[in-house]
A and B are shown apart, each in its own frame.
Chain A
Amino acid sequence: QVQLQESGPGLVKPSQTLSLTCNVSGASVSSTTYYWSWIRQPPGKGLEWIGYIYYTGDTYYTPSLKSRVTMSLDTSKNQFSLKLTSVTAADTATYFCVSERRTQPRRAFAFWGQGALVTVSS
């Protein structure tokens, strides 16, 4: 059972950088088994996949956010992180860290963190 927990500031000023960390237990971020994803959900709206990183450090970012997103792994702490630059009010959302199996059985997004609400406001 993979467990994930997001942490980071709940309030970010416009034009600044949103930074979140996901602490992983029950699996290693160095494992070949998983993609490590970030998904966000604006208040009252649907789910938007931001991208993933996996054990090699390779990433894929959704095109609409690609110019502003950076994901990284910290294998010593068994964590992965998200940075989103130049934020606006439209980036206000609950951010979830999520695991997805790369190997069979590929069960999609089976494990989710509880989510971290990040509000962009001055």
Chain B
Amino acid sequence: DIVMTQSPDSLAVSLGERATINCKSSHTVMYSSNNKNYLAWYQQKPGQPPRLLIYWASTRESGVPDRFSGSGSDTDFTLTISSLQAEDVAIYYCQQYNGNPRTFGQGTRVEIK
């Protein structure tokens, strides 16, 4: 199994400041046939299903604000919220879909400082 490890487990950021979440995979999630990283980021608010924010490590899903961005390749990835808004308080998960079983990181809780 590919193990996904996020850091930190939680962070508190002031409104308007940058939030950065890291995700590391135990094996590469790059698909060799097209050099795409099959790494996704999700946002989950209480009582709601997760919402896809980013796929292919850096492609923003339709409708996702551009303050959310993803970067990284191979085994190391980052989700950045450039200017934290109150509505961004949530738990964020990374997930690999390059192989089976699909696996998620443990989640990072983002709060307002």
Q: Taking beta carbons and an 8 Å cutoff, which residues of A are in contact with B? A: 37, 46-49, 51, 60, 62-63, 96, 100, 105-110, 112-115
Q: Taking beta carbons and an 8 Å cutoff, which residues of B are in contact with A? A: 1, 36, 38, 40, 42, 48-52, 55-56, 59, 61, 93, 95, 97, 100-107
Residues in A with CB closer than 8 Å to B55 are 105-108, 110
Cross-interface CB contact of A47 among B36, B38, B93, cutoff 8 Å: B93
Decide if B101 touches A60 in the complex (CB within 8 Å): yes
Known: A46-B106, A108-B40, A109-B42. Contact between A96 and B52, CB under 8 A? no
Decide if B40 touches A49 in the complex (CB within 8 Å): no
Decide if B49 touches A46 in the complex (CB within 8 Å): no
Q: List 6 other contacts, CB 8 Å, given A107-B61, A108-B52, A113-B49.
A: A46-B105, A47-B93, A49-B102, A63-B101, A106-B38, A107-B52
A62 to B104, CA, bound (A): 13
Decide if A108 touches B101 in the complex (CB within 8 Å): no
